[in-house]
Structure formats: structure tokens, C-alpha cells
Amino acid sequence: MSDPMRGSTAIVGTGITNRWDAPGRTAFDQLQEAAILALEDAGLTTKDVDGLFCALSVSGLPVLNVAEKLGLELRHADGTMAGGSSFIFHMRSAMAALNAGLCDVALICYGSNQRSAGGKLAAMPDPQPYEAPYGALYPISSYALAAARHMHEHGTTREQLAEIAVAARQWAKLNPAAMMRDELTRDDVLGSRMVSDPLTKADCCLVTDGGGALVMVRADRAKDHAAPVPLLGVGTAVSHRQIASMPDFTTTAAVQSGAEAYRMAGLGPADIDHVMVYDAFTICTLMFLEDLGFCAKGEGGAFCASGAIAPGGSLPVNTNGGGLSCNHPGMYGIFTVIEAAEQLRGRCGARQVPGAEVALAHANGGVLSSQATAILGTPATL
């Protein structure tokens, strides 16, 4: 029996600012532009929005600030903050709220001026008592620890991680909106400055500004919009906050979030045509592909280095260039969904995945702490 939530809602609008280095524009400016673009894409205005879902690292009261900035009158709102995965958490909440009649038009939005503000997130105080005394670099030292453990347990190599960065750059070269489009080789990655062993600078995501937004409605209303993207399945999971509390450094809660998304969608990894995963660091791509079932645990390094995830490979992954080469404004998760939706709408130009009918978008928050997975389709998949 199929899950009643499967395909009950759809994305009908996407917006992205493509302003990755925009001095003078605040996080709210980036969010506002993306939100207006998404609403215009859906053929709607701010007057139609009665449900708001947002998370901002620069605001402790994101719903109130964003609603005021956009001039919204709301019946429902959710400011869940789980790091970079928040926006797929919001998609799940929006799906539930729409089906319960708590709202009719859900706006999910984000903006950041991380790069132009000096490269640091203006986050609320968040002490890490078990790690702070050791002077770890947050967050890279946590991801480096996971990478080192994966190398120890499974024989993963720095060369294999480097190929992930190279594949992302190859996709970015096909995306005119990507921030980094110059040539990148495996030797370039291996020879770049070591930041936290075993991760070099080129293993790390970009630091950019940017904004993104999504508009969701119920399936009955989605039929009135051009190119709706049904939400087939969604799952979320949380396993820890500090890396010191992670149950297993080589396995993330994407195992759980992915399983729930697959169950709701009635699909499995073999049914996915296009994949977007949160690549804050190269090790993220590798671990999430394993945990989401695209290759066995311990085989991610060889799988990625084989060319499978690069243009022309068997599994198109991070086709916009990802956080490694396109953009990463601090909380990247919404951009995985936007690219997945645009691929299914056939709007991606030179990087378009031919015949894509089902896409998976996965997002990560904290230090491999919160995981969220969404499976999207075309109307033909319902």
C-alpha cells in the first residue's frame, strides 16, 4: 500500500539569487530576492503566502524577521533550525501543514552574506564543552576526524577524496552560475594547503553569499502550475550534536533519513536518476552515497574515483558543482533541492541529465549531526 503522503504536495516555484559575492547585501536581502523569484516562478505573490518556513544563522527570530521583511500575513510558520539540513526538515513540515489545511502556500527560504561579511557565520552562542578545550577548528576538524576514521577502517585514500572535488568542478564548468569554473586536477587538490589532516583546502566547500527559496502547494493546486515537481518521499534524522558524540564516525543518520524517504516514495537507490548531496567536504559526498545505498559501506572511495559521479558517469551527482565548486553560503541544503527540482523540470542547459524522472536531494546539518532526504519526481511518476 502506498503512503498517502506520497505526491500529496509539490514544488511549484524555485528561486536562487546566484549572487555568491555581493558586498552590501544583507542575509535578508539575499533571502528576499530568492523568495520573490520563487513566487514569480510559481505565478504567485507574497499576498498568496500563508505558511513560512525559514532558518537563518544571523537571526534568533527568523520567522518574525522574515515575515516582516516580506510583508507576509501568516496562518502557519516553522523556524526549525537543524543546520544546513533545515530546509528539507521544513519540506517535511510543509507537507504535513499543507495536508492538514494549516496553510495553502508554503514558502521555504534562506539567505546569507557569509562571504561578504568576512567569511564567518554570525551564529548564536553554541558552546561545545567536550571539544572546545582542545582547540579544534570548527567545523573542519570534525569532518577531518570522520575522514581519517573512514580511511583507517575502509582503506579510503586522499586520492579518492580528491577525485570527488574534481568531479564537482567538472560539473561546475557546465554551469554558468557556478562560482568556481576553472580547471581543477587531482594533483591540484592533493597539493593545496592542508587545513585539517587529511583534508586540504580543495577538499573544503566554498565560502559564498547567496539565497534560495522554494514554494510548495498541495497536489490538487499544483496541477494549475507549470512544471510542478511532486514530493514523493522525505525523511529526517538526528544522531548527535558534537562529533565526539557521533555513534559511528563512518556512518551517518542518512541511513535512517534515506530509508524513510525511500519507504514513502516506494522507491530505492536503483530508481534514482539524479543525486544531490550536501558536500561541505569531500568526505560528505562519499559517506552520503554509501549511507543512501548507492554503493556499499567502504566502497564509496572507489565508486567516486571511478568516474561514476562525474559528467558522463553512471550516477550524476551534484550537477550544479555542489558546495565544493558552485556555492556554499553556510547552510547549503536548500540548494540541493533547487538543483534537483530544476533538473526534473529540464531547465539545466549543458549540465542537464537526459530523461531524469526521479531525483534525490540530501542535506546535512551540524557536524554530520542532522540528516534529511527528499525524493522528487515529475508528474509522470505519480
How far is it, in rounded angstroms, from Cα 33 to Cα 15?
8
**DSSP 3-state of 74:** coil
Asked if 221 and 104 count as a contact pair (C-beta separation under 8 A), the reply is yes
Residue 177 is classified by DSSP as T
* Phi-psi region at 101: left, alpha or beta (left = phi > 0; alpha = psi -120 to 50): left
The pLDDT of residue 127 is 72
Question: Which helix H or strand E contains 363, and what residues bound it?
Answer: strand 358-365
Class of domain 9-119+206-381: alpha beta
Single out the residue of 343, 101, 43, 338 nearest to residue 220, CA to CA: 101
**DSSP 3-state of 118:** coil
Quote the cell numbers at residue 76: 502557519
79-92, pLDDT tens digit by residue? 999 999 999 999 99
SS3 readout for 241-291: CCHHHCCCCCCCCHHHHHHHHHHHHCCCHHHCCEEEECCCEHHHHHHHHHH
15-68, pLDDT tens digit by residue? 999 999 999 999 999 999 999 999 999 999 999 999 999 998 777 899 999 999
Residue 361 in this model has a pLDDT that exceeds 90: yes
58-75, pLDDT tens digit by residue? 778 999 999 999 999 999
The three-point CA angle 290-367-242 to 5° equals 125
How far is it, in rounded angstroms, from Cα 8 to Cα 219?
5
219-247, pLDDT tens digit by residue? 999 999 999 999 999 999 999 999 999 99
Asked if 278 and 258 count as a contact pair (C-beta separation under 8 A), the reply is no
CA of residue 282 relative to chain centroid, distance: 14
Asked if the peptide bond before residue 62 counts as cis, ω within 30 degrees of 0, the response is: no
How far is it, in rounded angstroms, from Cα 298 to Cα 156?
7
Tell the burial category of 81 from Cβ atoms under 10 Å away from its Cβ (0-12, 13-18, 19+).
middle
The residues spanned by each domain of the chain are: 9-119+206-381
CA distances, 177 to each of 118, 138, 139, 196, 317 (Å): 22, 28, 26, 29, 17
Residue 203 is classified by DSSP as G
120-172, pLDDT tens digit by residue? 654 445 777 888 888 888 899 999 999 999 999 999 999 999 999 999 999 99
209-221, pLDDT tens digit by residue? 999 999 999 999 9
User: Per-residue confidence at 278, pLDDT binned at 50, 70, 90?
Assistant: very high
Residue 96 in this model has a pLDDT that exceeds 90: yes
CA gyration radius for the chain? 19
The pLDDT of residue 129 is 80
Single out the residue of 12, 47, 41, 18 nearest to residue 30, CA to CA: 18
**DSSP 3-state of 68:** helix
301-311, pLDDT tens digit by residue? 999 999 999 99
334-358, pLDDT tens digit by residue? 999 999 999 999 999 999 999 999 9
Residue 313 in this model has a pLDDT that exceeds 60: yes
**pLDDT above 70: percentage of residues in the chain:** 98
